[in-house]
Amino acid sequence: MTNIVLPDWPWQAVRRLAKERGIQTWPVGGAVRDTLLDRPVHDWDFAVERDAMKLARAVADALDGDYFPLDVERDTGRAIATTPNGARVELDFAALRGGDLEVDLLARDFTINAMALNETGALIDPAGGQADLSNCRIRATSERAFQDDPMRLLRGVRMETEMGFEIEPQTADWIQRDASLVALSSAERARDEFARLLTLPRTVIPLQRLDEFGLLPHVAPELETLKGVTQSPPHRFDVWRHTLMTMDTLEGVVAAITGQKVKKRVLADAPIAAWGDIARVLGQFANDVTAHLAVEISGGRDRAMLLKLAALLHDVGKPQTWSQGEDGRIHFYNHEPVGAQMAARRLKKLRFSRDEAERIRTIVGQHLRPAHLSRAEKVTRRAVYRYFRATSCAGVDVVLLSLADHLATYGPNLQEQRWTRRLMVAETLLHHCFERYEETVAPPPLVTGNDLMAELGLNPGPNIGQLLDKLREAQAAGEVNTREEALALVRKIGRPT
């Protein structure tokens, strides 16, 4: 018999509180699995014979944490506490399904999550999860596993990549058979599972698996339409393949800028020297970019994950805007604004927050802007100001996506002069954002609307806002630097005729 020693925190506190209440509880699922794999336990699940929500509340109180009811009907609650090391941990407590521990375990998703420990640390493993762990195998507990909870379809793909395991053939067949059931799950659960998948390194691997299993169209049907949409040179692939390559390249771009080793990519085929170019030119912003991407936007989801999602959706407007000129070249006029609206709608349907939807709308809608800037003879301060006025706090993300998009487009055919210019534009934009923000990106106003009305005798109205916008742009461009200069400019351009 296998015996396992769990970390004292929080297990000993849970045992004590359960014993005081005369109820039995068992650690189950991920905590048991990760302990067997000698991995840190981040989140805990407990099966409880009864009064699971009451136990969850008691644990939250004992650990100075917070309590949330998850499913009143199924007697499921969550305690959120902080470990002695300061990490945030979720502890979920659920009443036994079927009234018996073995029945409960066999009703779970995968065998490696269907193990429990008794109070002495003895392993309870009715589905053979320990053997599947040893064989690095993801296996469903039963043929009904996905019908009972369709979100397990996405979870299985995520776990396969996250753990470096492989979904065994029978389970793979069931996933393909039941793929359409994903649509029956709540949008919020689909959002959370998909977002977790996008945080994984080498994200194109689970995305390709979602595609192979027929799951992707039920999460983001817009992506299915990208397949087979042809593009003219310098593009080398259809829009779907290009999208995957852009996502894979994006991870390399971020790694190069932030000082990480750029590991061999799954699909990206840019010259090795390109990663060195990025590190040499943009590595000066490593700490700033790292901090920028780590900012949480909503529900624990950060800018880094949303940037990957934007890369996945950046060309969704192309199928609707495909056209071919008399010379045979293919065009996608206005695919950016069209795609921006489509991407925002998809995020709303998946119940992402308004801020997240607007951020994606901006990144997708503006993703070609750095390319346009690279065609100018010089990137002026006025151009920098206008860029960040259009992209706001997503301007950094647009720079990163644009570099990935360029490298994915050209691949081994990268043209040195074009690439050097793109890097220069990226450096200029990041320099102004991180080092000259109040000078160029968002200069503090020299005058207010009241100043304009009081000193120049102007009447209230939209004209005041327009004048303030012109003043701020002139200030960012270095044309006005004092209050007096600002008022003089308004006298010149703003007095009604």
Q: What is the 3-state secondary structure (H, E, C) of the chain?
A: CCECCCCHHHHHHHHHHHHHCCCCEEEECHHHHHHHCCCCCCCEEEEECCCHHHHHHHHHHHCCCEEEEEECCCCEEEEEEECCCCCEEEEEEEECCCCCHHHHHHCCCEHHHCCEECCCCEEECCCCHHHHHHCCEECECCCCHHHHCCHHHHHHHHHHHHHCCEECHHHHHHHHHHHHHHHHCCHHHHHHHHHHHHCCCCCHHHHHHHHHCCCHHHCCHHHHHHCCCCCCCCCCCCHHHHHHHHHHHHHHHHHHHCCCCCCCCCCCCCCHHHHHHHHHHHHHHHHHHHHHHCCEEECCEEHHHHHHHHHHHCCCCHHHHEEECCCCCEEECCHHHHHHHHHHHHHHHCCCCHHHHHHHHHHHHHCCHHHHHCCCCCCCHHHHHHHHHHHHHHHHHHHHHHHHHHHHHHHHHCCHHHHHHHHHHHHHHHHHHHHCHHHHHCCCCCCCHHHHHHHHCCCCCHHHHHHHHHHHHHHHCCCCCCHHHHHHHHHHHCCCC
Domain closes at, from 165, 184, 219: 219
CA angle at residue 402 from 400 to 408, to 5 degrees? 105
Averaged pLDDT, 289-303: 96
CA dist 100 → 47, 74, 105, 358 (Å): 10, 15, 9, 47
Q: Does a structural domain hold residue 88? A: yes
- 115: domain CATH number? 3.30.460.10
- 252 plus 383 within the same structural domain: yes
Averaged pLDDT, 69-78: 94
Domain closes at, from 219, 238, 254: 219
- 404 plus 263 within the same structural domain: yes
Averaged pLDDT, 474-490: 92
The C-alpha atoms of residue 397 and residue 7 are separated, in whole angstroms, by 40
Q: Check if the beta carbon of residue 76 is closer than 8 Å to that of residue 91.
A: no
- 346 plus 304 within the same structural domain: yes
- 94 plus 152 within the same structural domain: no
- 435 plus 468 within the same structural domain: no
Domain closes at, from 167, 187, 219: 219
The C-alpha atoms of residue 278 and residue 291 are separated, in whole angstroms, by 18
Name 298's bridge partners.
Answer: 301
- 363 plus 300 within the same structural domain: yes
Averaged pLDDT, 42-49: 93
The C-alpha atoms of residue 247 and residue 237 are separated, in whole angstroms, by 14
Name 296's bridge partners.
Answer: 302
- Which residue type does 291 have? A
Averaged pLDDT, 426-432: 98
Give the number of domains in the chain. 4
Q: Does a structural domain hold residue 462? A: yes
Cβ atoms < 10 Å from Cβ of 240: 19
- 376 plus 488 within the same structural domain: no
Residue 106 has pLDDT above 80, yes or no: yes
Residue 497 has pLDDT above 50, yes or no: no
Note the residue count of the chain.
497
pTM: 0.93
- 124 plus 204 within the same structural domain: no
pLDDT tens for each residue of 147-159: 999 999 999 999 9
Preceding omega of 217 cis (within 30 degrees of 0): no
The C-alpha atoms of residue 463 and residue 495 are separated, in whole angstroms, by 10
In this predicted structure, what is the pLDDT of residue 14?
Answer: 95
pLDDT tens for each residue of 446-469: 999 898 888 778 888 888 888 999
The C-alpha atoms of residue 358 and residue 345 are separated, in whole angstroms, by 10
Residue 64 has pLDDT above 50, yes or no: yes
Q: Does a structural domain hold residue 142? A: no
Averaged pLDDT, 414-428: 97
Residue 494 has pLDDT above 80, yes or no: no
User: Residue 174 sits in which domain range?
Assistant: 147-219
Cβ atoms < 10 Å from Cβ of 150: 22
pLDDT above 90 covers a percentage of the chain that reads: 88
pLDDT tens for each residue of 176-218: 999 999 999 999 999 999 999 999 999 999 999 999 999 999 9
- 13 plus 103 within the same structural domain: yes
Q: How does the average pLDDT of the chain come out, rounded? A: 95
In this predicted structure, what is the pLDDT of residue 457?
Answer: 83
Residue 294 has pLDDT above 80, yes or no: yes
Q: Does a structural domain hold residue 141? A: no
- 430 plus 460 within the same structural domain: no
In this predicted structure, what is the pLDDT of residue 4?
Answer: 84
- 268 plus 403 within the same structural domain: yes
CA dist 294 → 227, 278, 298, 424 (Å): 32, 20, 12, 25
- 151: domain CATH number? 1.10.110.30
The C-alpha atoms of residue 238 and residue 231 are separated, in whole angstroms, by 6
- 308 plus 388 within the same structural domain: yes
pLDDT tens for each residue of 360-393: 999 999 999 999 999 998 999 999 999 999 999 9
Q: Does a structural domain hold residue 487? A: yes
Considering Cα of 474, then 480, then 481, then 484, what sign does the dihedral take? negative
